[in-house]
């Protein structure tokens, strides 16, 4: 029997995941806007988020949350982290018992500091929660370029079953039992991407970019391990792989935010011009609080926080990073 999949959230990656899944199993995409659902059904496109990329004609869309959820065997949450809890509260009225829930969001809940699977388990305690994550730039996947992702559940049987739902052609899906590490890798790398983008906006050069990415990986690994993630996860697709893609691609929203900050624009101006969420902006504040809680030094995150929330400039941030004294690469910065 084929599993019926519902993806909630018609942003670029939510739509991409729905497009992939519908090749393997009946899939429904929930859109907040009625006109978006009508466009997917009639024209097989999502022009707001994925212009010029045709969607599978088998993909069905709806603006009714009840219709999207009530018959689903697998629920995929493609909404941003700050809106996850509210949507899940609505989902709770319609979801059938024991349906697994997969998060696509790469962020942390601002007030509680919870990962998205923790939020899912709080709101839907009888449902198994996991994450699909990795270096997955939506437009490249839609263009047919090879990509790899990770499906992570604590129960390996669930992960293996869902692996076949999302795996398609050159989009390879691997399993991983380290849910904590997979989620934290996806969330923490966004902060480093903002830092990398600031350097690009300032024109600091490739050597500096490489140093920021590498030391950024060390930084997010320290915090991730302190919070319960496995070191090897941060060296894999959900850690280093996602970090490289997000820090170097011009499709990366978080790198774009950093680049515009490096050019001297304010964060309010940058966000006002964007039609999608850059999770790293809110995540930076949360990561600083987590660093204090777990007693982990986060020099790159601290400089990004200074630019986003303390009125400093990107140039101030890079001066702060370069003024740090040298030490051993084996030691924290």
Active site members: 189
The C-alpha atoms of residue 220 and residue 287 are separated, in whole angstroms, by 9
The C-alpha atoms of residue 185 and residue 243 are separated, in whole angstroms, by 8
The C-alpha atoms of residue 196 and residue 224 are separated, in whole angstroms, by 20
The C-alpha atoms of residue 149 and residue 166 are separated, in whole angstroms, by 9
CA distances from 223 to 47, 137, 184, 228, 231 (A): 38, 25, 9, 9, 10
CA distances from 38 to 10, 12, 34, 61, 66 (A): 12, 17, 6, 7, 17
Q: Of 209, 187, 210, which is closest to residue 278 (Cα–Cα)?
A: 187
Residue 25: count other Cβ atoms within 10 Å of its Cβ: 17
Contacts of 176 (CB under 8 A, 6+ apart): 150, 151, 152, 159, 182, 233, 236, 238
Q: Of 140, 256, 268, which is closest to residue 196 (Cα–Cα)?
A: 256
The C-alpha atoms of residue 17 and residue 170 are separated, in whole angstroms, by 14
> Tokens standing for 269?
């101006």
The 60-62 sheet, strands edge to edge = 60-62, 27-30, 5-8, 74-77, 101-103, 129-133, 147-152, 171-176
Return the bridge partners of 173, or none. Answer: 149
């Amino acid at each position: 029997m084929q599993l019926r999949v519902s993806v909630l959230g018609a942003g670029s990656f939510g739509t991409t995941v729905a497009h992939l899944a519908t090749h393997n199993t009946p899939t429904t995409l929930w859109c907040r806007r009625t006109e978006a659902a009508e466009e997917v059904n009639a024209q097989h496109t999502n022009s707001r988020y994925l212009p010029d990329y045709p969607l599978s004609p088998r993909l069905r869309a709806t603006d009714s949350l009840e219709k999207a959820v009530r018959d689903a065997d697998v629920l995929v949450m493609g909404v941003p982290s700050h809106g996850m809890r509210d949507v899940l509260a609505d989902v709770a009225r319609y979801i059938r018992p024991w349906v697994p829930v997969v998060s696509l969001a790469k962020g942390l809940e601002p007030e509680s500091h919870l990962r998205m699977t923790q939020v899912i388990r709080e709101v839907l305690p009888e449902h198994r929660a996991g994450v699909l994550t990795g270096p997955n730039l939506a437009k490249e996947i839609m263009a047919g370029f090879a990509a790899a992702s990770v499906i992570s559940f604590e129960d390996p049987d669930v992960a293996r079953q869902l692996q076949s739902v999302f795996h398609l052609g050159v989009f390879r899906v691997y399993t991983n039992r380290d849910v904590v590490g997979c989620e934290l890798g996806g969330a923490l790398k966004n902060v480093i991407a903002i830092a990398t983008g600031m350097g690009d906006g300032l024109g600091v050069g490739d050597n500096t970019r490489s140093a920021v990415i590498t030391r950024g990986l060390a930084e997010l690994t320290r915090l991730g391990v302190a919070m319960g993630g496995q070191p090897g996860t941060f060296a894999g697709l959900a850690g280093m792989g996602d970090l490289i893609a997000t820090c170097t691609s011009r499709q990366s929203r978080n790198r774009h935010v950093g680049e515009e900050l490096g050019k001297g624009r304010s964060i309010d101006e940058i966000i006002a011009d964007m039609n999608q969420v850059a999770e790293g902006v809110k995540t930076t504040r949360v990561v600083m609080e987590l660093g204090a809680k777990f007693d982990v030094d986060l020099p790159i995150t601290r400089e990004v926080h200074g630019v986003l929330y303390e009125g400093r400039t990107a140039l101030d941030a890079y001066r702060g990073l370069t003024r740090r004294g040298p030490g051993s690469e084996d030691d924290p910065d």
